[in-house]
Amino acid sequence: MNRPNEAHPAAIDRIDDALRPWRQGDCVLGDQGFLFRLDLRVPLTEAAAVAAAVGADAAEARVHGFAVVTQTCDIVRACESRPFVQVCPLVEVDADRLAEIRRGRRPNYAFLPGTEPQGLVADLDRVMTVEKAVVADWERVVGAPRDEDVRNLRQALTRNRSRVAFPDDFVRLASQLSRRMSKKHDAQSEEGRALRALREIRVQRPTLPKVQEKPA
């Protein structure tokens, strides 16, 4: 079997040229198919049930487009050495949910200014791998036009993959503080401005002093 660059050198150059402007967070809009595996015995989604009915263990769900979540440095590398990129589906949400996602309140989604007019956000819980030849034929839509938008996207990806499952007791303890922060977040006050500038709160379990045993 020929290597890709031996069989199609002109096509390889075309793919690399097409991917050169792409950046993390860029999107393709329009009807797309998100592929995933399923268990024929227990299909959990509508698309899975349709596939299971015909005995298929893979399904294709229709989505409104994709956001590329691979890091930019890997997107623009030669497709011969790095042929794949990861994409997340774009899903439609209502205005209230969109506002929560923009504020970072929904860690399973990422807000992208480039898809805000369509009411679309990236669903970070679903990731699909495609070859760069597929992306080369997409019409690029800039998802994160400003440096600030790129930073916010990276923070959303980090939250989604590294969030900690807090104990129930701590969640109950912090619930009142969480409600107050949500209520005051958009207020035109010093507190509101401080909350909008806040990116992270770290919680650490206190280290208890060691108890020295008395000699017998």
pLDDT tens for residues 197-207? 776 677 676 77
C-alpha separations of 137 from 92, 132, 172 in Å: 23, 9, 49
Residue 156 lies in a domain: yes
Whether 9 and 63 map to the same domain: the answer is yes
Whether 144 and 179 map to the same domain: the answer is no
For 86, the domain range is 4-162
Name the average pLDDT for the chain: 87
Residue 91: strand pairing partners: 121
d(CA 30, CA 20): 22
Whether 113 and 11 map to the same domain: the answer is yes
Give me the pLDDT at residue 179, please. Answer: 72
Q: With cut-offs at 50, 70 and 90, classify the pLDDT of residue 7.
A: low
Residue 44 lies in a domain: yes
> Is this prediction's pTM over 0.75?
no
Give me the pLDDT at residue 25, please. Answer: 96
Q: With cut-offs at 50, 70 and 90, classify the pLDDT of residue 176.
A: confident
Whether 184 and 84 map to the same domain: the answer is no
Q: With cut-offs at 50, 70 and 90, classify the pLDDT of residue 192.
A: confident
Alpha carbon 117 to its chain centroid, in Å, reads 19
Residue 208 lies in a domain: no
Residue 54 lies in a domain: yes
> Per-residue pLDDT for 168 more than 70?
no
SS3 call for 12: helix
Whether 143 and 185 map to the same domain: the answer is no
Whether 97 and 174 map to the same domain: the answer is no
The crossing angle, in degrees rounded to 10, of helices 168-184 and 190-197 is: 120
Neighbour count for residue 175 (Cβ, 10 Å): 10
Amino acid letter, 105: R
pLDDT tens-digit series, residues 66-115: 999 999 999 999 999 999 999 999 999 999 999 999 988 889 999 999 99
